[in-house]
Chain A
Amino acid sequence: MIVHALAALLQTQVPGLPEHRVANIFKPLASPAQSEYEIAVFVIAITTVIFVVVGGLIVFTIVRFRRRPSDDTRQEPPQVYGSNQIEVAWTVIPILIVFVLIGVTARITAGVQNASPPASTVKVTVIGHQWWWEVVYPDFGLTTANEIHVPASPDGKTATYLTLRSMDVIHSFWVPQLSGKTDLIPNRDNFLWIDPKEAGIYLGNCAEYCGTQHANMLLRVIAHPPGDFEKWMAEQQKPAEQNPQMTEAKAMFESLSCINCHTVKGTPAVGKFGPDLTHLMSRETIGAGVLTNTAENLRNWINDPQVAKPGCYMPSMKLTDQELGQVVSYLESLK
């Protein structure tokens, strides 16, 4: 168990699982996380030295000055009341250390917050909902959910510029390997830019308690290798698949109240309360990361979302087996 625990700390991979499963803050793969990592190492180094020196002194004192059986209990030790020189010394030295830390903090804080992103950026608006993420690409007229697709930036020349908002309560965007937290706050826009150095999947969470299903407000950033992002975007910009075999299933879907909350582009389904389903099958997960997107999971999810994610705002629609089958097969056609 200990070995397993330490292994997680030293690397980002747990044997048998895909890349970047462990969101280790000490394995940064984007500019903000990199700066935060550097200052973290610096601060940990300083505090470790302090810990060793002061902790050593405390332990030494405890061991060295313990009362021994041979001691005369009536004899009190020399009564020392204090020393101004020593007080000054251990006031001034910490102040000096603090000033060094303040200087470094000021530099890195300004560096991260005020850094201008590279010229070539993809703009993404991330909108927090209880308990899922709406992802909007305003320049491409595209809306998706929970999985943020961005171009990787091995040369550091492209970046993704995130505008963070909330529709309801406060959420927080945290993908540890890319960046520290920035809150999504109603009535306020926050900003953040990331430039993942490697293609791959980066896991994150909502990091501000936002209600019942805060735990299952999971987030993944999928960084595409150069060129792939454009392909993905082109796929996503297509309207929803019109499969002639699905006419009946589509009609069933549109006759149910699903469409009050969900959008499927180019159909009567224009609801805004839940995630956009136009290209549902291109996503890896459903329910903001609570289940992997398989046929069985999707069926169970639609049958009763309250099993996998109790308390979430998607109700069980109490569909008959036939209705359920048709809805699932329609959704499965939304590639």
Chain B
Amino acid sequence: MASIDYPLEHPKIHPREFSFSETLYAWVATVDHKRLGLMYIVSALIFLVIAGIMASVMRIQLAVPNNHFVDPDTFNRLFTMHGTTMVFLVGMPIVAGLSNYLVPLMIGARDMAFPRLNAFGFWIFLFGGLLLYYSYIGGSGLSGAGSAPDVGWFAYAPLTEKAFSRGASSDFWALGVMVSGFGSIASAINVIATTISLRCPGMTLSRMPVFVWVMLVDAWLILVALPPLSAAQIMLLLDRSLGANFFNTQAGGSAVLWQHFFWIFGHPEVYILIFPAFGTLSEIIPIFSRKPIFGRPAMVGAVVAIGFISLGVWAHHMFAVGMTSWSNTFFAASSMLVGVPTGIKIFNWTATMYGGKLRFATPMLFCCGFLLQFLVAGLTGIMLAVAPFDWQLHDSYFVVAHFHFTLIGGLVFGVFAGLYYWFPKATGRMLSEKLGKWHFWLFCIGFNMTFIPLHFAGMLGMPRRIYTYAAGRGWESWNMIASIGVIFQAAGILFFVWNVIQSLRFGERAGDDPWDAWTLEWATTSPPPEYNFEKLPVVRSSRPLWDLKHPQDPDWKFE
């Protein structure tokens, strides 16, 4: 027998209710990866709603030409804060939250490798986020100019230099994002150390769930891609506060250098953001198809390939800055190549479903939505990678539509799939299927209604980041349709929020393993005890619970 016996106390049954302050203390002082994971996810969802409201205000403003719903400064702050929030305060904590909650459970560990570093990472992330939002109050600075940052989420120099961005708003942007980035780096180191060092006996790298592999590569990308952004932000802060000249074009500084540094971070970043969705799909599709993931090695290989190729594609955001035709062609080529492993993933997910018995519970619905929408996003991505075509599409609404297809149609759908799938594990109760289906269909219809038209607005010459536009350029109808779509999306989100509130109190009891799943997190109770497993599991295949449920036909016989 190879199980390792730990002298553990029996799970306590608490005889009394905790007071509010005790509960608060327990959450604030916790180093438990599950609580930290939940706090990451909850803060991400709160920021998602805030940034979603910002987006809705922008869609109201753009619904009709020459609208005066908000003034230009407000609008510019809205899209800056919307973008920054969505990337750094929604996407990044989703990465950290899902990997925190699930990685130790999936590899049969009792916690993350560095639990206290983990808590530090969360609180510094939250501090960074609050610092960014404090700019609404404190951003006017000593000179009384400005409020929240209004330089766009990629904050191109020299617009961010003191001469063009007065007040303290750009400092808040740089500091807030940088500080929350330190949290992401802390959490990434933690994920890597956890997956490498804390796997339970038998959990070889080749048996590790695909989700864990994806989050491992994701952590690697965070480690190599975030520091360039922090470096550039340090330079920007030196420029702004000590009069350094990095991006000061008057002193010979280069405006293009910021773009290089930003996109050396920024392009891997979009993969960092989409990876959690890759992970959740790789877990959910097999369970609801009742088949193992098709081509495991290819799936893992594709993720690793993306983890390296995506480091060499950044300048496809810069086809319009006047690089040589050789550089443009190089970056076009590398950008298209990164589509190959991404394609492999879509094919393998489809092949996993092929021949299965598909059960369309809400998580699976979101996965199907993901597949079709992410296919569109990938193909418009190929269009954007073709440099001459990009000269037309770049910085137009086509780009806005493209990356919302990846980040909403892809990431958000994948994350919702994951939330519906793992909610029972985290809370012990199921989310309502009925409300879930309302949520899915409203959100899916609204999303497509908003973002399909924006492709066409871009092709008709509508640039991004304009707070208003004149009538008669062929953009009105597309924008109106897009804005109407927001109503459906918002309704979908309301159903989700209502679903969570309802199900937390009245949801059906989930039991340990409601989906009849195969990975280790379903081997413990729902919610799991603080130490996750009474006995450390021992695995002999990539589907340990399948082996347990099918002793006549275990996976390890074939591996």
Q: Which residues of A contact B (CB under 8 A)?
A: 1-2, 4-5, 7-9, 14, 17, 21-26, 32-33, 35-36, 39-40, 43-44, 47, 50-51, 54-55, 57-59, 61-62, 65-67, 71, 76-83, 86-87, 90-91, 94-95, 98, 101-102, 104-106, 108-110, 112-114, 130, 168-170, 172, 174, 176, 179-183, 185-188, 190-191, 203-216, 218, 310-311
Contacts and interface: CB of A to CB of B under 8 A. Distances in A.
Contact of B72 (A1, A210, A310): A310
Contact of A5 (B343, B393, B477, B550): B477
B447 interface: no
A87 B295 contact: yes
A106 B327 CA distance: 10
Interface stretch (B215-223, B284-292, B519-527): B284-292
Interface residues of B, number: 101
Given A51-B379, A83-B294, A169-B255, 9 more contacts: A1-B477, A25-B459, A55-B375, A98-B337, A109-B325, A191-B322, A208-B395, A211-B159, A211-B164
A205 B379 contact: no
**Chain A binding surface SS class:** mixed
B164 A169 contact: yes
B347 interface: yes
Interface string B379-412: 1101101111111111110000000000000000
B255 A188 contact: yes
B354 A61 contact: yes
Give the 7 A-B CB pairs with smallest separation, nearest first: A180-B391, A8-B474, A23-B461, A215-B466, A5-B477, A82-B295, A22-B474
A161 to B, nearest CB: 15
Contact of A212 (B72, B375, B558): B72
B477 A215 contact: no
Interface in B345-362: 346-348, 350-351, 353-360
Contacts of B396: 174, 207
A185 B329 contact: no
A190 B322 CA distance: 6
A165 to B, nearest CB: 11
Contacts of A2: 477, 481
Contact of A82 (B254, B294, B360, B464): B294
A54 B373 CA distance: 12
Given A23-B461, A105-B329, A186 B249 contact: yes
B463 A174 contact: yes
Interface in B511-541: none
A28 B164 CA distance: 36
Interface stretch (B38-46, B150-158, B266-274): B150-158
B57 interface: no
Given A8-B474, A24-B459, A172-B320, A215 B333 contact: no
A310 B291 CA distance: 60
29 contacts: A9-B456, A22-B460, A22-B461, A25-B459, A40-B383, A40-B389, A51-B379, A58-B371, A61-B350, A65-B353, A67-B358, A79-B291, A80-B294, A82-B296, A87-B348, A94-B339, A106-B333, A109-B332, A113-B325, A169-B164, A170-B159, A182-B320, A185-B256, A204-B461, A205-B463, A207-B463, A211-B150, A215-B72, A310-B72
Contact of B461 (A39, A51, A176): A176
Contact of B156 (A14, A17, A39, A209): A209
Interface in B287-317: 289-292, 294-298
Given A76-B290, A182-B322, A39 B388 contact: yes
B350 A109 contact: no
A77 B357 contact: yes
A180 B320 contact: yes
B473 interface: yes
B489 interface: no
B372 A55 contact: yes
Given A109-B328, A207-B395, A91 B340 contact: yes
Contacts of B459: 9, 24-26
B252 interface: yes
B405 to A, nearest CB: 12
A126 to B, nearest CB: 13
Contacts of B296: 81-82
B382 A47 contact: yes
B322 A102 contact: no
B92 to A, nearest CB: 23
Contacts of B380: 47
A51 B336 CA distance: 16
Contacts of A212: 72-73, 76, 150
Contact of B357 (A71, A187, A208): A71
Contacts of A95: 337, 340
B375 A58 contact: yes
A43 B156 contact: no
Contacts of B371: 58
B60 interface: no
A211 B80 CA distance: 11
Nearest to B476: A4
Nearest to B352: A80
Contacts of B355: 65, 77-78, 80
A65 B356 contact: yes
B433 interface: no
B255 A50 contact: no
Contacts of A208: 156, 320, 395
Interface in B455-496: 456, 459-461, 463-470, 472-478, 480-481
A210 B336 CA distance: 29
Nearest to B383: A43
A79 B549 CA distance: 14
Contact of B354 (A36, A55, A65, A210): A65
B50 interface: no
Contact of B481 (A5, A54, A58, A59): A5
B504 interface: no
Nearest to A173: B320
B233 to A, nearest CB: 18
A82 B298 contact: yes
A36 B391 CA distance: 8
Contacts of A26: 459
B388 A185 contact: no
Contacts of A105: 329, 332-333, 336, 385-388
A5 B472 contact: no
A20 to B, nearest CB: 10
A311 B156 contact: no
Contacts of B336: 98, 101-102, 105
A51 to B, nearest CB: 6
Nearest to B152: A209
Contacts of B339: 94, 98
A121 B89 CA distance: 51
Contact of A102 (B332, B350, B481): B332
Contact of A47 (B254, B321, B354, B379): B379
B345 to A, nearest CB: 10
Q: Which among A24, A78, A169, A190 has the highest number of chain B CB atoms within 10 Å?
A: A169
B71 interface: yes
Given A40-B383, A101-B382, A21 B473 contact: yes
Contacts of A77: 289-291, 355-357
Interface string B74-91: 001000000000000000
Contact of B477 (A4, A39, A180, A213): A4
